[in-house]
Chain A
C-alpha cells in the first residue's frame, strides 16, 4: 500500500468508528436510562413525580420514601423482601446442588437408557411453566400445601437446564483420571463426588445458582397462583399488588418506585460479585 492511498483508506474507517460508537452508545442509553429514571424517581416525593420532572433538584425525599416503604401496610415490604431472599437464595442453592449432582452423574456413569433419560430432561426445559401451574395448584391444594412457603419453594427447585449445564461442566472440569486415582485410593463413590469432584465443579455450581437465582427472583406466575396470604408474597407479587392499589390511591406510587429500586439491588450485587463465574457459564450454556 502506498502512502498516498492511506488517507482515503483511513477516512471511511474513522467515519465507521464514529458511527459504531454512536450506535453502541444509543444502545447503552436505551438500556440505562430507564434504570436511571427509577433511581431518580425513588428520590422524589409524590408531587415532584406527578410533575414528571425527575431531573430538577427540588423535592428530594429518598429517605422519607424509604421510611414510608417500610412503614406501609405495617412493614409488609420487609417481609416480602425476606421471603424473596429465602425463596431465591435458598432455593437456588439447593437447586444448584441437586441439578449439578445429577448432571455429574449423567456425565461420569454409564447405565441403560441414559440418553433417553437425558432427552426427557431436555424436553422438560421446553415445557412452559404456565402449563404446569394449574395441576401444581391442584396438587398443592390436595396435600394442603397451597398458600404455604412450600407451595412456591418446592417447584422452583426443579431446574432441568441446570442438569444440562452440570453435565457440560462435569465434562469440562472433572477429568476422568482424577476420579480413577481417587478410586484406587479407595474412596467411596459418593464421598468422592463430595470431596474430589464438587470442589472442581464450583464455577459450574455458581453459574447454575445465578441462573436459578434470577429465575426465582423473577418468578411471578407461580406465587400468584399459589399464594393468597400477603405475608408469604415475594417482592415481585407484592409490588404487583401495590401497583394495582396505586391506580386508586396515588400515595402508593412512591412506595412502588422505591420498592422496585430496592428489589433490583440483590441481583446486581450477585452479578457483580460473581461475574467471573457467570461469564464462563454463559458461554458454556450457549455455545455448545
Chain B
C-alpha cells in the first residue's frame, strides 16, 4: 500500500485508510464472533453455570423448623451439615459401593469386548463385515429405557424365553435376585453400548497406517501378536476416551435400576447415587441433602476424569520412552 502512495500530503490519509479499515474489520469480526457464540453461551449460563452454583449454594442451606417443628419452615445456613449427613448415611455409602462394583464389572467387559470385536473385524477374516457391524450397532438405536424394558421382560419368569430355556435345562437363575441383580444391570448397559464403542475402535483401527501393520507382519508377528502388540497401543487415545466417557456415564446410573426396582426387591429407592439424589429431592423434599449428594457426585466425576487423564498421560509417556 505505502509503496504506491504518491508523495505530498496524500500519504497521511492513505496510510490512515488501511489502519481504520483493519480496526473496523477486527471490530466486525469480534461482533460476528459474539453473535455466533451468544446463543450457546446464553444456554451455558442458564442451564449449566447457574444450576451448578445453585447446587453448591443449596448444599450449605437447609430447612429448619423452629419451635419444635411447629413453627413456619425457613431456610437457614447449615454449613457442612448436609455433607456430614450424606457421608454418614449408610444408604449413600452403599450406593457408592454399588457404583464401584458396577464400574469394576462393566468397564473392563465393555472395553475388552468392544476392542476384541473391533480387532476381529479389522483382521479381515470376518465375512459380511458391514452386516456384522450394523447388527452390533443396532442396540445403540434402542433408547436406554426400552433396552431396560426388553431385558426386564427377558429376566422375568413367565414372560422370558431365556428363563424358560434355562428351566428346561434344569437351571434356575433369578436374574433379579440378590446375587444376580448387579450383573443383570451390567448386561443391559453392555448390550446397549458394546456395538457403539466397537464402531469407535474400528474407526480408529482403520486410521492406523497400513505400512505399520505390514512391517510387523514382515517382522514375523502373527495376527494375534499384531493385534495386541501393534494395533492396540496405536489406538490408545480412543481407548482412553471410551473409558472416560463410560466412567462419566456409569456414575450417573439411574434409568436401568429405576425401571428394575419395580420388579426386584433387591433394588431400593437409593440403589445408586443418582437414585439417592432423586429420592432425597423429590420423595423426601430435602433439597439441601440432594444438593450435597449432587456436589459429591460432581467432585467424584471430576476426580475420576482427572485421574484417568493423568494415568493415560503417564502411561503414554512411559510407552513412548
Contact = CB atoms under 8 A, between A and B. Distances in A.
B33 A111 contact: yes
B145 A239 contact: yes
Contact of A104 (B36, B200, B262): B36
B40, B142, B207, B273: which has the most chain A beta carbons within 10 Å? B40
Given A130-B294, A138-B287, 12 more contacts: A24-B120, A24-B132, A35-B138, A54-B161, A101-B37, A101-B40, A124-B48, A130-B277, A183-B25, A189-B33, A220-B145, A236-B146
Contact of A32 (B138, B141, B143, B248): B138
A50 interface: yes
A287 B35 CA distance: 30
Contacts of A1: none
B254 A98 contact: no
Contacts of B302: 126
Interface of A: 16-17, 20-21, 23-25, 27-28, 30-32, 34-35, 37-38, 41, 49-50, 52-55, 98-99, 101-102, 104-106, 109, 111, 120-121, 124, 126-139, 154-155, 157-158, 160, 163, 183, 188-190, 193, 214, 217-218, 220-221, 224-225, 235-237, 239-240, 243-244, 247, 253, 256-257, 260, 263-264, 267-268, 271, 279, 282-283, 286-287
Contacts of A55: 161
Interface stretch (B4-12, B171-179, B191-199): B191-199
B128 to A, nearest CB: 9
Contacts of A104: 36
B203 A286 contact: yes
| A contact patch SS | helix
A220 B255 contact: yes
A102 B125 contact: no
Interface stretch (B102-110, B149-157, B310-318): B149-157
B263 interface: yes
B65 interface: no
Interface of B: 25, 28-33, 35-37, 39-41, 43-44, 46-48, 50-52, 54-55, 58, 113, 116-117, 120-121, 123, 125-127, 132, 135-147, 149-154, 158-161, 163-164, 191, 194-195, 199-200, 203-204, 206-207, 223, 237-238, 241-242, 248, 251-252, 254-255, 258-259, 262-263, 273-274, 277-278, 281-282, 287, 290-291, 294-295, 297-298, 301-302, 305
29 contacts: A16-B223, A20-B120, A21-B126, A31-B138, A31-B191, A37-B150, A38-B150, A52-B160, A124-B48, A127-B48, A129-B252, A130-B273, A131-B52, A131-B55, A131-B294, A131-B297, A132-B51, A134-B55, A134-B291, A189-B28, A217-B143, A236-B143, A253-B159, A263-B143, A263-B146, A271-B140, A283-B207, A287-B203, A287-B204
B278 A225 contact: yes
B150 A34 contact: yes
Contacts of A16: 125, 223
Nearest to B165: A52
A282 B200 contact: yes
Contacts, number: 269
B19 to A, nearest CB: 17
Contacts of A155: 47
| B contact patch SS | helix
Contacts of A24: 117, 120-121, 126, 132
Contacts of A127: 48, 52, 298, 301
Contacts of B251: 128
B150 A28 contact: no
Nearest to A105: B36
